[in-house]
A and B are shown apart, each in its own frame.
Chain A
Amino acid sequence: MRSLFILVLSLLSLNTFAAGSKIDIPKYDWSWKGFFGTYDRASAQRGLKVYREVCAGCHSMDLIAYRNLEDLGFSEAHIKAIAAEYLIPDGPNDEGEMYEREAIPSDRFANPYPNVQAARAANNGAYPPDLSLIVKARPKGADYLKALLLGYVEAPAGKEVPEGQYYNKFMAGNLIAMPSPLSEGIVDYDDGTEASMDQMATDVTTFLAWAAEPSLEDRKRIGLKVILFLIVLLVLAYISKQQIWRDIK
């Protein structure tokens, strides 16, 4: 009965989407945009804190290892300390028993749930998606994510919001199973930055953008060199071509 309900609901929401209820995602300014863009390290580090203290309760990031945090400027010792705060399942040991141990830097981020079914059971049947690639897995990526995090508003009159669903002006169909994860001051930033809604949304999005595309900075740096090289090569090739074709009438 419940699955039927969910099916009807999802069909309805798809329908409103297809019917052309166009949702305009605002455009934000990101540190990694443009030819020389890089991830704002301080923001990404704060974003990690938001992820660990807010998102990680439900959302896994199973493509990211603790050692990857070195990219964001964390020291080896710091990463070891962060990893050691988590328990991850391992085994079997020599006695054939599964056991839990502290995570080490080479481990992937600890998963909040042992499996998908457990995640669904704990979340009213909705599955909190893995966040490793979320910025690349949604149209408008980072803009969408930040807008979504800030998009929880009072449902307009006449819009029915079922039990276990929340109104969000940027979610397709406007109904989302995740309650607003952020609230003013929910995180206590180590660097003294004020944890406003906008700040936290920006920081966690920066962190997740890095997680989705850790090679972005290398890519942009190499890209510039490649393009400059090719332009110089083109100039030389063009001069050669003019030389070679000079006598052809």
Chain B
Amino acid sequence: MSSNDPQGYKKTLNSPYTGFKGWIDSRLPLVRMMEAEYLKFPVPKSLNYFWSFGGIAMFCLIGLILTGIFLGFHYKPSADEAFDSVERIMRDVNFGWLIRYLHANLVSFFFIATFIHIFRALYFGSYKAPRELVFLFGLTMFVLMMGTAFLGYTLPWGQMSYWGATVITNLFSAIPFVGDAILKLLLGDFNVGDSTINRFYVLHWLLAFAIVGLVVFHVITLHMTGSNNPTGSEPQSWDETVSFHPYVTIKDLNATIFFFIILAFVLFYYPNILGHSDNYIRANPMVTPAHIVPEWYFLPFYAILRAIPDKLGGVLAMFGSIAALGLLPWLDTSKVRSCLFRPVWRICVLLFAINFLVLMYMGGKPAEGIYVLISRIGTAYWFLFIFVLAPLVGFLETPRQPLSITNYLQSKKA
């Protein structure tokens, strides 16, 4: 066992430490695990700032859980009391407004970080072998994130909370045979009501911690393969890597602070800009808002839902759009990972990202006329990208020879 072999702890049970650290480490190998995975862990030295968004997302998650705990101290999950308890947090709890605005805006920034993180995975081919499981755990987390965010949005019990919950839970009634039973189980009633908010509150917590659990798997699988990098080429020697600490930690710290400056700007000066004004109106089952729109981060998927004229079809397309992404590691036939060396696929991926933003815009518009047409084209491209372009382009395209990490860094300097 060489001492600079970071995987060394797997080969021996003897702790390399003495004293108190050694006492702990020989009983609970936390010290050597942390050292191997977070201090010495080798990372390609060619990472750009796109690689910071996983860490940023993790900080967002931690922030959400911390603020969520404090909100939970004061919040009352009841149809009669929820709205007032949120206003009590905003007005009477010390720094309650800060905790609540932070929680509400961190979600949005969590999604921004996650969208960029997923885009990075697509652009640089991080989903391809041997990182398929990293990608699948990531996508699963993304689905749970959306579930948690949706549940959380119902909790303030404003008009959009109530009607958003009504529209989205109604989707489950589209499932043949068992739809109505699932709907009743979900709502605890025939309508969104007091029992709904109670179970949504519990599930909001449950899913949040399920995400934390999946982060562990996401990171374990990532640390088995190591990080991808812009070239998509694996490091060929120690020289092409840097240790996680201090090189990656300081870089991620820079990116995280920058990201949080933008968050702080929104949080302190436009805290409601990403929300909907209707949610400051108490939920009223007798009055339907003129346009029921979900939170901005659901809009692309909402557009896909509404693009399909059939209810069940729409639901399948919406959930299918994310599930299908999970097939990319096997549908993408190219041997080359990174878009830097795949001229045709690069255009497809960039179009996919633009298409995502277009769908987001369409999801916020009423489902009529040209908006539906564009949503349909966007939805078609989404599935075309995964099921046709991924296998076909990989087959037909002639990629350039990927540069090694060293050559890539030299060519960048030149």
Contact = CB atoms under 8 A, between A and B. Distances in A.
Interface in B262-313: 264-265, 267-269, 271-272, 277-278, 280-281, 290
A23 to B, nearest CB: 13
Contact of B91 (A63, A244, A249): A63
B257 A219 contact: no
B251 interface: yes
A241 B91 contact: no
Contact of B250 (A139, A212, A240, A249): A240
A136 B98 contact: no
A220 interface: yes
Nearest to B253: A237
A30 interface: no
B254 interface: yes
A42 interface: no
B97 A215 contact: yes
A230 B290 contact: no
A16 to B, nearest CB: 11
Contacts of B213: none
A124 to B, nearest CB: 17
A137 B280 contact: yes
B364 to A, nearest CB: 13
B250 A222 contact: no
B278 A237 contact: no
B50 to A, nearest CB: 16
Contact of B98 (A35, A222, A224, A249): A222
Interface string A216-243: 0011101110110011011001101100
A129 B257 CA distance: 42
Contact of A237 (B101, B250, B277, B409): B250
A8 interface: no
Contacts of A231: 261
A230 B260 contact: yes
A227 B280 contact: no
A248 interface: yes
A40 to B, nearest CB: 19
B264 A214 contact: no
Contacts of A155: none
Interface in A109-164: 129, 132-133, 136-139, 141
B333 to A, nearest CB: 35
A67 B353 CA distance: 52
B246 interface: yes
A144 B84 CA distance: 25
Contacts of A18: 290, 366
Chain B: interface secondary structure?
A: helix
A245 interface: yes
Contacts of B277: 136-139, 141
B247 interface: yes
A131 B98 CA distance: 23
Contacts of A224: 268
A213 to B, nearest CB: 8
B234 interface: no
Contact of A220 (B254, B260, B268, B272): B268
A223 B269 contact: yes
Interface in A63-116: 63, 68
B90 interface: yes
B238 interface: no
B87 interface: yes
B264 A226 contact: yes
Given A219-B97, A219-B271, A223-B269, A249 B247 contact: no
Interface string B309-329: 000000000000000000000
A68 B91 CA distance: 9
A189 interface: no
Nearest to A33: B269
Interface in B195-244: 242
A186 interface: no
B45 interface: yes
Nearest to A214: B91
Contacts of A141: 277
B159 to A, nearest CB: 9
A14 interface: yes
- Centre residue among A35, A132, A138, A244 by max chain B CB count within 10 A: A244
Contacts of B91: 63, 68, 214-215
Interface in B86-113: 87, 90-91, 97-98, 101
Contacts of A248: 45, 242, 247
Given A137-B277, A231-B261, A234-B257, A245 B247 contact: yes
Given A18-B366, A237-B257, A249 B290 contact: no
Nearest to B239: A249
B257 A230 contact: yes
Contacts of A212: 280
16 contacts: A63-B84, A133-B87, A137-B278, A139-B277, A215-B90, A219-B97, A219-B98, A223-B264, A227-B264, A227-B265, A227-B268, A234-B257, A234-B261, A241-B251, A245-B247, A248-B45
Interface of A: 14, 17-18, 35, 63, 68, 129, 132-133, 136-139, 141, 172, 212, 214-215, 218-220, 222-224, 226-227, 230-231, 233-234, 237-238, 240-241, 244-245, 248-249
Interface of B: 45, 84, 87, 90-91, 97-98, 101, 242, 246-247, 250-251, 253-254, 257-258, 260-261, 264-265, 267-269, 271-272, 277-278, 280-281, 290, 366, 409
Given A138-B277, A237-B254, 19 more contacts: A17-B290, A18-B366, A35-B269, A63-B84, A136-B280, A137-B277, A137-B280, A141-B277, A215-B90, A215-B91, A222-B268, A223-B265, A226-B268, A230-B257, A231-B261, A237-B250, A240-B250, A241-B254, A248-B45
